[in-house]
Amino acid sequence: MTDANSRLVLAVPSKGRLQENASAFFARAGLTVTQGRGARDYRGVLSGVENVDVAFLSASEIVKNLASGAAHLGVTGEDLVREAQAENQVGLLTPLGFGHANVVVAVPQAWIDVRRMADLEDVALAFRARRGERMRVATKYVNTTRNFFRDKGVTDYHIVESLGATEGAPAAGQAELIVDITSTGATLAANGLKILDDGVILRSEANLVASLGASWTPDLREVARKILSRIAAEEEARTTREIVAEWSQAPQDLSPVLAGFGAGLRRRGPGGALILTAPKAQAPALADFLIGNGAQEVYVRQLDYVFTSKCALFERLNMKLDALPPMIKRDLR
């Protein structure tokens, strides 16, 4: 086992598209995830930052390791965090832009009069009256289902825990409806199912997640700061553009105009040049405006990284850790 007091443990998905996307995410920040002896090795390193061990685990195991404190940071789906009811043991730091999928309630397409969750209570009552049994819901998301059904006022049902392909449960006679995760809904439709109009329980995606129960020594917080600052710097650069506007005589005060574009003046360059920053989506419109108001040339540059003295991601981690009760903080030293 890795000494939790000296090395930070980063848990990433062990296979499939999630692993590929997670590796690409870290690579964009100049951090290379490397498996020790190839694809079958479940331990690795994060090149670019010292004192980091990478653990390759299934997405559900990542949640367990974060909740128990065996890993400090991890990449996993929000749906699994919510299902594990681990919100008090882990903290969601930021969504990562991949692994999008929805946890949904789906019923047979033949139920033409059932469109909303409110209709399910009527179905449940009719099902019990006709068969003397409760309506069955097949799912791997037991806690998520119970919480959502309770909030929607649906009470007369029985959960059948699904161990295989949940979408096939109604056709196999194992359940009347399901709660499952889907990216496009195509597999549900292929199995004769439809999503209820108000049946989207959670819009999930991969998140960078921090353990609140791991040993967060000052040295390990510093390792986390290095990782998070690179991630934040890459994200800021990806969504920001540097704009250089050449003027014969630059205006003295553009602040009110720049604010309308979400832009800011970084500095004045030689001659009449202004160096600005703006959101990527606003850069073309801002360039047009500057040309229309006397700028002779405008250059829009893509940046590699934008580092700042304060990293919002690291501050978010510190805020979550510092909010822990004093007794727990002492145990984590």
Give the whole-angstrom CA distance, residue 166 versus residue 138.
6
Task: Read off the pLDDT of residues 71-112 as tens digits, 9 standing for 90 and up.
Answer: 999 999 999 999 999 988 999 999 999 999 999 999 999 999
Domain co-membership, 167 together with 254: no
Task: Read off the pLDDT of residues 171-217 as tens digits, 9 standing for 90 and up.
Answer: 999 999 999 999 999 999 999 999 999 999 999 999 999 999 999 99
Predicted local confidence at residue 41, as pLDDT = 62
**Count of domains observed in the chain:** 3
**In Å, how far are 30, 48, 181, 302 from 27, measured between CA atoms?**
5, 10, 28, 18
Q: Which of 182, 203, 224 is the last residue of a domain?
A: 203
User: Over 50: is that where the pLDDT of 163 sits?
Assistant: yes
Give yes or no for a contact between 57 and 10, defined as CB atoms under 8 angstroms apart: no
Looking up tokens 């600005």, which residue turns up? Answer: 276
Domain co-membership, 174 together with 127: yes
Give the whole-angstrom CA distance, residue 240 versus residue 263.
9
Does residue 3 belong to any structural domain of this protein? no
User: Over 60: is that where the pLDDT of 2 sits?
Assistant: no
Domain co-membership, 74 together with 213: yes
Give yes or no for a contact between 212 and 92, defined as CB atoms under 8 angstroms apart: no
Domain co-membership, 56 together with 27: yes
Give the whole-angstrom CA distance, residue 58 versus residue 53.
16
Domain extent, residue 223, equals: 8-98+205-235+310-332
Domain co-membership, 209 together with 259: no
Q: Determine how many CB atoms are found less than 10 A away from the CB of residue 245.
A: 26
Report the percentage of the chain scoring pLDDT > 70: 94
Predicted local confidence at residue 292, as pLDDT = 87
Containing 331, the helix (H) or strand (E) segment is helix 326-332
Order of strands, sheet of 264-268, starting from the edge strand that comes earlier in the sequence? 264-268, 274-279, 240-246, 297-302
Does residue 120 belong to any structural domain of this protein? yes
Task: For residue 263, give the CATH number of its domain.
Answer: 3.30.70
Q: What is the arithmetic mean of pLDDT over 152-181?
A: 94
Q: Determine how many CB atoms are found less than 10 A away from the CB of residue 292.
A: 8
Domain co-membership, 74 together with 214: yes
Predicted local confidence at residue 272, as pLDDT = 77
Domain co-membership, 319 together with 217: yes
Order of strands, sheet of 206-211, starting from the edge strand that comes earlier in the sequence? 32-35, 43-47, 52-57, 8-13, 73-77, 206-211, 90-95
Predicted local confidence at residue 302, as pLDDT = 92
Task: For residue 47, give the CATH number of its domain.
Answer: 3.40.190.10
Rg of the chain on CA atoms, in Å: 25
Q: Are strands 193-204 and 177-182 parallel, antiparallel or unpaired?
A: unpaired
Give the whole-angstrom CA distance, residue 270 versus residue 53.
47
Give the whole-angstrom CA distance, residue 286 versus residue 141.
47
Predicted local confidence at residue 259, as pLDDT = 86
Give the whole-angstrom CA distance, residue 283 versus residue 105.
42
Predicted local confidence at residue 330, as pLDDT = 46
Domain co-membership, 259 together with 143: no
For 6-51, give the DSSP string. Answer: TSEEEEEE-SHHHHHHHHHHHHHTT-EEEETTSTT-SEEEEETSSS
Give the whole-angstrom CA distance, residue 44 versus residue 52.
9
pLDDT tier at 294 (50, 70, 90 boundaries)?
confident
Does residue 2 belong to any structural domain of this protein? no
Does residue 1 belong to any structural domain of this protein? no
Does residue 157 belong to any structural domain of this protein? yes
Domain co-membership, 284 together with 188: no
The separation between the first and the last C-alpha atoms of the chain, rounded to the nearest angstrom, is 19
Domain co-membership, 59 together with 122: no
Q: Angle 77-83-85 (CA atoms, 0-180°, nearest 5)? A: 110
Looking up tokens 């939790």, which residue turns up? Answer: 4
User: Over 50: is that where the pLDDT of 289 sits?
Assistant: yes
Predicted local confidence at residue 298, as pLDDT = 94
Task: Read off the pLDDT of residues 36-63 as tens digits, 9 standing for 90 and up.
Answer: 666 566 889 999 899 999 999 999 999 9
